[in-house]
Amino acid sequence: MKIAFAKPGRPKKGAIVVSVAEGGALSPTAAALDAEAGGLIGKAIAGSRFTGKAHQTLTVFTAAGRLLLYGVGDPAKFDLTWAETAGGGIYAALAHSGEKEVTIVMESGDERRAERAAHLALGAELRSYRFDKYRTTLKAEDKPSLEKLTVMVDGHSRAQKIYDVEAAIAEGVAFTRDLVSEPPNVLYPISFAERCLELKKLGVDVEVLGEKEMAKLGMHALLGVGQGSRRESRMVVMRWNGAGKGVQPVAFVGKGVCFDTGGISIKPAGGMEDMKFDMAGAGVVAGLMQALAGRKANANVIGVIGLVENMPDGNAQRPSDVVTSMSGQTIEIINTDAEGRLVLADALWYTQDKYKPAFMVDLATLTGAMMVALGEETCGYFSNDDKLSDALKAAGDAIGEAVWRMPLGDAYNKQMDSDIADMKNAGARWGGAITAACFLERFVNKTPWVHMDIAGVAWSRKDRGTTPKGASGFGVRALDRLVRDYVEKA
C-alpha cells in the first residue's frame, strides 16, 4: 500500500476518515461536511449505536463520498500503540470496501501529532500484510481495493520522516511473516539460508555454515536433530556493523526448525501442519536484521539462526542417544521432539564463544507448555539479568507486544540432570517451559541473556489490531525497540 502525508485540507478523492471523541463531538472537518450535507452525519450518529467509543466505526455516504467516522474514545488514552491499532482498524474497515484511496484527516493540535500520524500509517501498513503467493484462483474482488492511504496532519513532513524509519521496521516484520508463512517444501534449511543472503543488499554480512563446518566445530546437538532429514542443516550468521569497529556487539539467536514432525518421538497427525512455523524464532531474527539494516541502526548486531528439519528416518536420532554439544557438555536424548533446545544449545554456545556479545536474546517456538501458561496473548520470557529483563519488558510495553517474565531456578534446573550424561533434553511434564529455559541456560556461559518462548504468539489464529491472521512477526518490533533504547541510547 502506498502511504503519504499531506497538509490538512479537504481530500479531493476517495474515502475520508475523521475522528469522533467519546460523546460524539465532531471534528472540524466532520462538522463542515455535516453542515454541507444538511446534518446527515449527525442524524446517522443519532440513529446508530456509534458513540465515539475507542475503535468504533460508522460509515456515512454524503455527496462528498464515503465518510468513515472513527471513534477515539478517551483522548487521554491516545498513545502511539493506540494510534497503530486505529490505523489497523481503519485499514480493515476500508480494505475491501471498493475504495482505492483513503485520507485520514487528523485535526488534533497535540504536540505529538506528527508521531501519531506516522504510527497511524504504520498500523495500517502492518495490518495490510498478505501472503497470496500460492492462491492462483483469487479473484480481483477478493483482493483488497485499497491502494493508497494519506494522512493529513499539521507537520506532515515530520510525520513522513518518522514514518520512513518505521517503514523499515514494517519491512522487517513483513520479511519475517513471509518466511514463517512459507510451506516447508519451499522453505527448508538451504532455501532459508538463501533468503538470508538477500540481506547482503542492505549491507548485512551473511555467512552460511554447512554440515561439515558445523561438525568441525563440534555442533553435534544441532546436527543430531537434522540427521533424520533428507534436507541438510545450516547455520546462518548475519552481522550488521552499524556502530563501527571496536564496539561490542549484541546478539539475537533463533530456533529454525523448518518442520518439526517430532522425529522418532513423532507427533500426532492432528495439528502437525502448524509445525511449519517452528522456524519462527529464526524468522524473527532474520526480519530483525532486515529492520536494523533498513533503518541503519547505530549498533553492532549479530543474528545467528540454527536451521534444521526434524524428521524420523532410518538415520534419525533415537530416544536414549547421547550427543556431545559444542560446549563439550553431553546430552541424553529422552524425547526427540524436544529438539529446539538442542539446536539452540549449539547456536547459543557458538554465539557467546565467538562474538562475546554484551547480551544475547534467543527466540524459539520452544514448548507447548508456554502456551498452556500464557495462551496466545503474551510471550513468556526468561532471563539471568534483571536489567536486560526490565529493558525487554519496557520495549515490549512501548510497542504493544506483550511479554511477561517467567522464573528460572535450581529446583527446576536440576530436573534436567541425567543418569548417563551431563543433562537430558526433556524433564517431567510440569513446568515444561521453565525446565526448557533451564536447559538453555546451561549454554549461555554467564552472558546476560533472555530466552523468549514465542510458541503461543508466533502465529495468530485471528485478525488483531496490526496483525492479520497468520504469521505475526511477533518480536521484531520489541527487539528493534530494545536495540534503540537499550543499545543505541546507552
- For ligand BES, how many residues bind (rule: CB under 6 A)? 16
Query: Does position 338 bind ligand BES by CB under 6 A?
Result: yes
| Strand boundaries in 198-260, DSSP class E | 205-209, 234-241, 250-260
Min dist CB 361 to ligand BES, Å, is 18
Min dist CB 208 to Mn ion, Å, is 24
Q: Please give the Cα distance from 327 to 346 (Å, whole number).
A: 7
Residue among 41 and 311 whose Cβ is closer to Zn ion: 311
List, by residue number, the catalytic residues: 267, 341
Q: Please give the Cα distance from 120 to 110 (Å, whole number).
A: 15
Q: Please give the Cα distance from 373 to 366 (Å, whole number).
A: 13
Helix segments in 326-382, DSSP class H: 340-355, 368-374
Min dist CB 47 to ligand BES, Å, is 46
Min dist CB 368 to Mn ion, Å, is 9
14: which DSSP letter?
S
CB 447 within 8 A of CB 249: no
Q: Which of 178, 260, 401, 441 binds Mn ion (CB under 5 A)?
A: 260
Q: Which of 293, 200, 294 is closest to 242 using CA atoms?
A: 293
Q: Please give the Cα distance from 12 to 64 (Å, whole number).
A: 9
Min dist CB 278 to Mn ion, Å, is 7
Cell numbers representing residue 457 in the block: 504468539
Q: Which of 160, 261, 351, 365 binds ligand BES (CB under 6 A)?
A: 365
Residue 384 has a CB neighbour count (10 Å cut-off) of 17
Query: Does position 101 bind Zn ion by CB under 5 A?
Result: no
Specify the 3-state DSSP secondary structure of 335: coil
Min dist CB 131 to Mn ion, Å, is 24
Contact partners, residue 40, CB within 8 Å, separation at least 6: 34, 60, 62
Query: Does position 261 bind ligand BES by CB under 6 A?
Result: no
Q: Please give the Cα distance from 411 to 418 (Å, whole number).
A: 15
Could you say which of Zn ion, Mn ion, ligand BES, none residue 426 binds, taking C-beta under 5 to 8 angstroms by partner kind? ligand BES
Query: Does position 452 bind ligand BES by CB under 6 A?
Result: no
For the segment 333-352, give every residue that binds Mn ion (CB under 5 A): 337, 339
- For Mn ion, how many residues bind (rule: CB under 5 A)? 3
Query: Does position 309 bind Zn ion by CB under 5 A?
Result: no
Residue among 214 and 280 whose Cβ is closer to Zn ion: 280
Binding range to ligand BES, per CB under 6 A, among 66-74, 86-94, 228-236, 330-338: 330-338
Binding range to ligand BES, per CB under 6 A, among 32-40, 233-241, 312-320, 365-373: 365-373
Strands 300-310 and 322-324: unpaired
Contact partners, residue 153, CB within 8 Å, separation at least 6: 5, 6, 8, 106, 113, 114, 116, 117, 159
Query: Does position 283 bind Zn ion by CB under 5 A?
Result: no
Could you say which of Zn ion, Mn ion, ligand BES, none residue 368 binds, taking C-beta under 5 to 8 angstroms by partner kind? ligand BES
Site string for ligand BES, 400-429 (x = CB under 6 A): --------------------------x---
By beta carbon distance, the residue nearest Zn ion is 260
Q: Please give the Cα distance from 394 to 403 (Å, whole number).
A: 9
Q: Please give the Cα distance from 153 to 111 (Å, whole number).
A: 11
Query: Which chain residues interact with ligand BES by CB under 6 A?
Result: 260, 274, 278, 335, 337-340, 365-369, 426, 432, 455
